[in-house]
Structure 1
Amino acid sequence: MEEYEIAVVGGGPAGMMAAIAASQNSSSVVLLEKNQSLGRKLLMTGGGRCNITNSKPIKKLLDSYSQKNFLKHSFYTLTNEKLLSLFEDKGLSFIEEDENRIFPETEKSSDVLKILLEYLEDVNVKYNFEVTSISEDFVINNEIKADKIIIATGGMTYPQTGCNIKNYSLTSQPLTDIKYGLVPLITKKDLSQIAGITLYDVVISYNKYKVIGNVLFSHVGLTGPGIINLSNIISENMTYNLLEDDNPEMNIEIAIDLCPDFSRENLLEKFTIDSQKKGKTLLKNYLKLFLTNSFIDFFLDDIDLDGQTQLSRINKKSKNRLIENLKRFTFEITDFNKDLSKVTIGGVDLADVNPKTMQSAIVPNLYFAGEVLDLHGPTGGYNLKIAFSTGYLAGLSAGEK
C-alpha cells in the first residue's frame, strides 16, 4: 500500500491549487483524478478563455457572495495579486475586460492549465483513479494511505466535466440541498426565430429580485450573464434537492425591462409627443429607438400589435399595452437547461468546516476545497476565485507540520 502525508481527491482548479500549496511544505503529496487529464472544467471556463478571477477589491468582491464571512480568510490568504503572480512568474500576462473580469492575455485556458501542471511537477498525480471509498483511518480504495485528505471533487452539475452525485458519497459530512446554479432557462415561448439575438444591459426581475445584465436568446430559451445570474436566485428560492429529485417543478414567470433608462411616465410622455411630431412614422421603425432591430418583429407579434401602424393611429389601449410590455416583457419559465448548469448550489455544510483552515470540524485531518462546499457566486470569475482561494488555504493548512 502506498503511503502519503497528504492526498488530494479531485484534479479541478481547487484540487490542483490545493496540491500545489500542500507541496510547498510536504514532499509527500498525491493528487487523485478520475479523468485521464487534469483541469477539464477549467478548460471550459469563460468560453475556453478562462475568466480566472474578478478584479474587484476584496471587500467589494466578498459582498458578491452570500457566504462572504466564510470566504474572507481564504480570499485574504490568496489575494488576486498573489494568484495572478503565480502565473505571471511563469510568463503569462492578464487583461481586464468589462465587469472586472480577468482573462489570460493569450485568451487560452490551456495556458493557465499548462502553468498549473508545471507547479505540480513535484506532486505524484494519478490519472484514471476514481476514489470510491475512504476508510475512517484514511485508506483510499484499499490502495493508498494518507495522514491527511483534501476533498476537492467539485459538485454534481455540468456532467461533461465528470461531476456527479458520487462526489458527495466520500464523506459523512452534513450536506445542504444540492441544486442547479448558473443555468440557462427554458421558456414556454418558442424563441427559435430570434435565437442568437442579445439584449444588452436590461433589467430582469423575478418576484422581488432584480438583476442587470445581458440576455441572449437561444433556440430553447434564455441565457447570457443576466439570466444565469438570476437563475441562482430562482434555484435558491425553490424547494428541491438533486440528491433526492432531479426534476424540480417549475412554473414561474420572469420579466424583462427592455427600456430601463425610461420610466413608464417618461415613455408615455415621449410617445405622446412623438405621435404628434412623427405621426406618419411606422411603429416598427419608431421602436428602433428602444429595441434591437432584429427583435422588434418578434416583440410586436408577441404583444399583438401591427408594426405597420402609424404612430398617430395607435389607440390608447394599444399604446398602454406597448408601454407596459416595453417595461415588463414576460416569459413563462418551464425548466432549467440542466446539462448546462455551470455550478452546483449547495454541498458540504459550512457550519461544519473551519473557514480559517478548511478543515472539517467533525473529522480531524479532513479538508475541503472548492465546489464540493456550499459555496457559489455569480458569473464573471467569482467561482474560480472560490476554487483557487479555498484550495490554496486547504493545501497550506494540510501542509503544516
Structure 2
Amino acid sequence: MKEYDIAIIGGGPAGIMAAIAASRTSRVILLEKNSSLGRKLLLTGGGRCNITNDKPIKELLSFFNNKNFLKHSFYSFTNEDLFSLFDFDFITEDDDRVFPEGGKSSDVVEGLTNLLKDVSISYNFEVKSITEDFVINDKLKADKIIIATGGVTYPQTGCSPDNYFLTKQPVTDIKYGLSPLITKNDLSGVAGVTLSDVVISYKKSSVRGNVLFSHVGLTGPGIINLSNEISEVISYNLLDDEPEIDLEIGIDLCPDLNREDLMKKFTDDFQNKGKTMLKNYLKQFLTNSFIEYFLNNINLDGETQLSRINRKKKNRLIENLKRFSFEIVDFNSKLSKITIGGMDLDYINPKTMESTLMPGLFFAGEVLDLHGPTGGYNLKIAFSTGYLAGLSASKK
C-alpha cells in the first residue's frame, strides 16, 4: 500500500491550489474522479474564467455572511498571490471581475496544472471510503487528507452528494445557489430581452442588476444573485428531496424614481405630451422589445394617447413600473452554478481549515458551507481556502 504525507481528494480549483501549497514541503497525491483536472473551472465565466474579484479584501469580505470565517484565508492568500502564479496577465472588467487576458479558461487550468510537477496525480480515481486512520479505498494511506470535492451542481464535472458522507463531519442542508429561475409566466415572446440595472426583490431581500429573459424563465446576474436569498429561506435539503416552490418576485423597472416622482412626472408629461402614444412614451423607461409584453400583461393599450389615460390606469402603470411581478415555480437546477451549504463551519478551524473533530482532516472550497454572489467571489473562496488547507496540512 502506497503512503503519502497528504492526499487531496478533488482536482478542482480548491484541490489544485491545496496541492500546489502542500507539495512545496510534503509528498502529495491528488485524487481526481475525472480524466482531467479543473472540469468546472473550464466552465466559469462563460469559458473565460472569472478567476476572482479584485475588490480590496475588506470590501470583498462584506459580500459574505461568513466573513469572519473567511478572513484568515483571504489574507493568507491574496489576489496578488494568485496572479503571481501565472506567466500571463489579467484584465479587470465591470464590478471588479478578473479574467485572463487571453480570455480562455483553459489558460488558467494549464497554468495551474504546470505547477503540479511535484504532485502525484491519480486520474479516474473515485474515492468511496476513508477509514479513521486515513486509508482510502483500501489502496493508499495518508498522514493527512484534504477534501475538496465541490458541491452538487454540474454533476457532469464529477460532483456528487455522496462526497458529503466520506467522513462523519456534520453537514448543513444542501441547496441550489446562483440559479436561474423558472417562471409560471410564458416568456417565449421576450426570450433574449435584457432589463438593465433593475432591482429584483423577494420579501425583504433585494438585488440590483441585469435580468435576462429565457424561454423558460429568468436569468442574468440580478436573478441568480437573488436566487441565493430565495434558496436560503426555503426549507429543503437536496440530500433528501427537491424543493417545492410557489412564490412571487417583483422587479422595479425604474429604481431611480419613487412612486411620487413618477406620479409627478406623469402628471406633467401627460398634459404637455398628450398626443404621444403610450408605447412611445415608455421608451424612456423600458427597452423597446419589452414594452409590448409589459403593456399586454397590465392590460393597457400602447396605442392610447397620454391625454386619454385616466388616473386609475396611470396608477396601474406606476405600480407595475415599480413592481412588475413574476410567479416562480422552480430553480433551473441544470444551470445552477454553485451549491449553498456544506461542511458545517462550526466544526472547522478557520485559521487552518482543519476539522475540530478529526485531526489531520482538512476541507477546502465549495464542499464547505461557504458561498458568495456571482462575479469571481466563489473562486476566491476556492483558491484561498485551498491554499490555506494545503499550507496548514504541510506544516502540521
TM score, norm. by length of structure 1: 0.98
**Corresponding residue for 1:155?**
151
Hey, what does 2:170 align to over in structure 1?
Answer: 174
Instruction: Give me the whole-angstrom Cα distance separating, in 2, the residues matched to 1:305 and 1:19.
Output: 61
Q: In 2, Cα distance between the equivalents of 1:136 and 1:130?
A: 18
Determine which of 244, 257, 263 is the counterpart of 1:268.
263
In structure 2, C-alpha distance between the alignment counterparts of 1:289 and 1:213, rounded to whole Å: 18
Match of 1:14 in 2: 14
Q: How many correspondences in the alignment?
A: 396
For 1:135 and 1:216, how far apart are their aligned partners in 2? 47
Q: Please tell me the root mean square deviation across aligned C-alpha atoms, in Å.
A: 0.7
Are positions 1:249 and 2:248 aligned together?
Answer: no
How do 1:383-394 residues align onto structure 2 when only pairs under 5 Å count? 383-394=378-389
The one-character-per-residue Cα deviations of 1:24-48 (angstroms, maximum 9, x if unpaired) are 111x110000011100000000000
Q: Which residue of 1 aligns with 2:64?
A: 65
Aligned ranges for residues 110-259 of structure 1 at < 5 Å? 110-245=106-241, 247-259=242-254
Does residue 76 of the first structure (1) align with residue 75 of the second (2)? yes
Task: Give me the whole-angstrom Cα distance separating, in 2, the residues matched to 1:343 and 1:260.
Answer: 28
Q: Distance in 2 between matches of 1:253 and 1:354?
A: 39
Aligned residue number for residue 331 of structure 1: 326
- Assess if the C-alpha contact under 8 Å between 1:159 and 1:339 holds in 2: no
Partner amino acid for 2:78?
T
Q: Which residue of 2 aligns with 1:45?
A: 44
Partner residue in 1 for 2:91: 95
What residue number does 2:101 align with? 105
Whichever residue aligns with residue 210 of structure 2, its letter is N
C-alpha distance after superposition, 1:85-131 (max 9, x if no partner)? 112xxx21011111111111111110000110100111111100000
Runs of at least 5 residues in structure 1 that lack an aligned partner in the other structure? none
Output the amino acid matched with 1:366. L
Structure 2 counterpart of 1:100, one-letter code: D
- Tell me, in whole angstroms, the C-alpha distance in 1 between the residues paired with 2:61 and 2:22: 25
Give the match for residue 295 of structure 2.
Answer: 300
Aligned AA for 1:43? L
Q: How far did residue 158 of structure 1 move?
A: 2.1
Structure 1 residue 160: deviation in Å? 2.6
Aligned counterpart, 1:399: 394
Deviation, 1:248, is: 1.0
SS of the residue corresponding to residue 119 of structure 1 reads coil
The one-letter code of the counterpart of 1:141 is N
Give me the whole-angstrom Cα distance separating, in 2, the residues matched to 1:11 and 1:385.
Answer: 16
Alpha carbons 1:150, 1:367 under 8 Å: kept = yes
* 1:351-392 superposed Cα distances (whole Å, 9 cap, x missing partner): 100000101100010000001110100000000000000000
> In 2, distance between residues paired with 1:201 and 1:128?
44
Query: What's the offset of the Cα at 1:159?
Result: 1.7
- Other structure's SS at 1:150 match: strand
SS at match of 2:349: coil
1:71 deviates by: 0.4
| SS class of match (1:215) | strand
Question: Structure 2 counterpart of 1:193, which letter?
Answer: G
Superimposed CA distance per residue, residues 287-341 of structure 1 (whole angstroms, 9 cap, x where no aligned partner): 0010000000000011111000000011111111011100000011001001111
Separation (CA, whole Å) in 2 of partners of 1:233 and 1:275 = 39
Structure-2 residue corresponding to 1:360: 355
Gapped regions of structure 2 (runs ≥ 5):
none
Q: For the Cα contact (< 8 Å) 1:19–1:120, is it kept in 2?
A: yes
Q: Give the alignment's TM-score, normalised by structure 2.
A: 0.99
Q: What amino acid maps onto 1:325 in structure 2?
A: N
Q: Deviations over 1:149-182 (max 9, x none)?
A: 0000001122232211111121110111111100
Amino acid at match of 1:143: K
SS at match of 2:355: coil
- Give the corresponding residue for 2:3: 3
Q: Which residue of 2 aligns with 1:278?
A: 273
Task: Give the counterpart letter for 1:20 in structure 2.
Answer: I
Separation in structure 2 between the aligned mates of residue 10 and residue 208 of structure 1, nearest angstrom: 37
- Tell me the amino acid that sits aligned with residue 158 of structure 1: Y
State the one-letter code of the partner of 2:62: D
Q: Is the 8 A contact 1:54 1:100 kept in 2?
A: yes
**Shift in Å at residue 188 of structure 1?**
0.7
* CA distance in structure 2 between the partners assigned to 1:339 and 1:294 by the alignment: 27
